[in-house]
Structure formats: C-alpha cells, structure tokens
Amino acid sequence: MKTKRSERLIDMTHYLLEHPHTLIPLTLFSKKYESAKSSISEDLTIVKHTFAERGIGFLETVPGAAGGVKYIPKMNKQDIEAFVNDLIDELNHSKRLLPGGYVYLSDMMGDPKWLRRIGRAIASQYMDTEVNSVMTVATKGVPIAQSVAFYLNVPFVIVRRDSKVTEGSTVSINYVSGSSFDRVEKMELSRRSLDMGSKVVIVDDFLKGGGTINGMISLIEEFNSEVVGATVIAENIFRGERSVKDYTALLKVDNVNTEDRTIEVSAGNFLSSIK
C-alpha cells in the first residue's frame, strides 16, 4: 500500500535522526514507503527546509546513481550560544568546588538533557570534518565521548589508566601528568579498539596543563592515526604554558573561590570556532 505524505515525513524524520552522517539511498525510502522516487524527492525537500529552518540540522543531497541524502546534526550558532549561557548559569557561583580544586560535574554528566546538547554542540564543530572515532580517557570523559559519538555516528574509544583484563592486548604509553609536570603516568588503549589510519576527535571534561590530552595524542600516533581536533567542556585556570595548544573549550574557568566553594566561568573559545 502506498504511504501518505504525512506518514512518510514523520517516519523519514525519525529514520534520518537515528542515522546521522549516513548516506541513505533514495531507493531505501521509495521501497520502504512504496512510493515513486519523485515523491520521495519532494518529501526530502520539505524535510531539508524544515531541518534548516528549525535548527535541527543540515540535509545534504548527494546526486547521482550512488547518491542519496545524509542528515548532519548541526546546532546553529544561536542555539550554541544559548547552550553555553545555560552552562555558565549552571556552574557560576554554584557550590560545585570540591576539595583540591576539583569541580563536581557528575550530575550534569549523568543527565541526558545536558548530554544531548553537549553531544550536538561538539558534533557541530566537526560536521564538515571526516571523523572515524571519538576518544576520551576513563572515567569522566566517557559520557561526553558517547554523546558526541551518537551525533557523529562513529564509535568511541576509552583510554584507561589501569589495565583491564577484559580488553585483550593493549598499546600503552607514558605521559607527563599533573600541572607541575613532575609525574609520569601510563595510559593504554585496547589494540582492537582503534583501526590504523583513523581520524580521531579527542574529548574530555577539563583541561588543565594538557598532559592527559598530550598522552592521548601520543597514543593516537602509536596507532598511525590522526588527531582532527580536541574539545573539552572547560579549560581550567593554569599558570604556565600548556603543553597542548590546539583545542576548543566550551567554557573557561576564570576564578576559583575555595572559601565559599564556588567557581566563576565564562564562554570559552568554542563559540568562535563555529561558523
């Protein structure tokens, strides 16, 4: 039975949202809905227009026999600005500072409402870049990596500081950790989890001296792979020269008040990286 346009638009929207960054041949839709390709093309024009208009994302049309459509989740600049401001409101002056200068974020990093926005925002930065994998270090970065991976629709890999017996053989490197650059630590990645020649986006919660990100960069080199970018939720206050220069941060910690356990944050350099 032929499907009505209204039904096609709804199901198509669902299908596209569940398959971001995936080339979908028009024939898939015309078979699914038993409809002519010309009708499907008209549907997709409406979807494309609405996705753009409503800030849902970009629908790329690839012409030709091997062509089709590709949904690229994209948060527009205005929505990202609103999101960064919401982050600032959430963190500023709230009692999130823990002993030792750590910031409590676990509630937000466990909340799908925040994670969806984090994932869409960071994925937007890499929407025009070829990415094969999202990398982070256990354990704080994992929810961020998974959220970004959902919107880029690529696997994410978790670098560990401790060897896990369930990972199989691993590649490990030593890296310099700590803001005083005086501690050498080990991190490792399961050999099976990253293909040689991958293009990798690094994500993490906080950036201080940059030791952890530098460690991941070294590890990526061991897999003959390439870092295409690094993004963190917040760059911390750091006196001295960071060992990582090329990164984007959604937020910037401006001030830490240990007495009333609050921090002050403002927008990081992420916003200016978005077209």
Number of residues that bind a second copy (CB under 8 A): 57
Residue 149 sits in the site that holds a second copy (CB under 8 A): yes
Over the window 48 to 87, marking each residue x when it contacts a second copy by CB under 8 A and - when it does not, the resulting string is: -xxx-xx-x-------------------------------
Which of 66, 165, 180, 246 forms a contact with a second copy (CB under 8 A)? 165
Chain-centroid distance, C-alpha 270: 12
Contacts of 62 (CB under 8 A, 6+ apart): 23, 68, 69, 70
Q: What type of residue is 270?
A: F
Residue 223 binds a second copy, judged by CB under 8 A? no
List the one residue from 28, 52, 88, 138 that touches a second copy (CB under 8 A). Answer: 138
* SS3 state of residue 6: helix
Comparison of 50 and 269: residue with beta carbon closer to a second copy: 50
Does position 104 bind a second copy by CB under 8 A? yes
The distance of closest approach from Cβ of residue 65 to a second copy in the complex, given in angstroms and rounded to an integer, is 26
Backbone φ and ψ for 261, nearest 5 degrees, come out as 55, 35
Beta bridge partners of 187: 173
Determine the 3-state secondary structure of 237 from DSSP: coil
13 binds a second copy (CB under 8 A): yes
Give the nearest distance from C-beta 27 to a second copy in angstroms: 18
Tell me if 128 contacts a second copy by CB under 8 A. no
Q: Is 197 in the site for a second copy (CB under 8 A)?
A: no
Q: Does 102 bind a second copy (CB under 8 A)?
A: yes
Q: Chain centroid to CA 107: how far? A: 18
Three-state DSSP at 55 gives: coil
Residue for token pair 């490197």: 173
Pairing of strands 183-190, 262-267: unpaired
Q: Which is nearer to a second copy, 90 or 167 (CB)?
A: 167
- Let me know: does 187 contact 161? Beta carbons within 8 Å: yes
* Opening angle at CA 185, ends 222 and 198, nearest 5: 25
Please report, as ranges, the residues that interact with a second copy according to CB under 8 A: 5-7, 9-11, 13-14, 17-18, 46-47, 49-51, 53-54, 56, 98-100, 102-107, 110-113, 115-116, 138-140, 142-143, 146-147, 149-150, 153-158, 160, 164-168, 190, 192-193
